[in-house]
Amino acid sequence: MTQVVVLPHPTLCPEGTVFDAKPGTSICQALLENDIEIEHACEMSCACTTCHVLIREGFNSLEPAEEMEEDQLDKAWGLEPCSRLSCQALVADTELVVELPKYTINHAREHH
């Protein structure tokens, strides 16, 4: 199992959390299994950016993003070099520190 640290997020995870995820599990699935209700509007099919996360530590342990994911990431709010779609990024053997962006491109869900 690999440790995943989730940094505090005002609505989805106010205190932050730490959990173990099985290598090969998508970050999105691991978050959902640990009661962090990250948006995944396209049902994890790499067709939107609502599950965008920032990998603050452990980014290089992830398999590189494929072209389809890169194309979607270009549309993500707050894109950074450590951005990934959590439905496409699979947990490996290295501890991850994940930050959930404050906003998603899905404005209906935004809280101001």
Q: Provide the residue range defining the domain that includes 81.
A: 2-109
* pTM of the predicted model as reported, rounded to 2 decimal places: 0.92
DSSP states of 37-68: ----TTSSSSS-STTEEEEEE-GGGSPPPPHH
89: domain CATH number is 3.10.20.30
Whole-number pLDDT of residue 106: 64
Q: Decide: 9 and 100 in contact? Cβ < 8 Å.
A: yes
8 Å CB contact between 77 and 104? yes
Total number of domains in the chain: 1
One digit per residue, pLDDT tens: the chain, 112 residues?
999 999 999 999 999 999 999 999 999 999 999 999 999 999 999 999 999 999 999 999 999 999 999 999 999 989 999 999 999 999 999 999 999 998 876 654 444 3
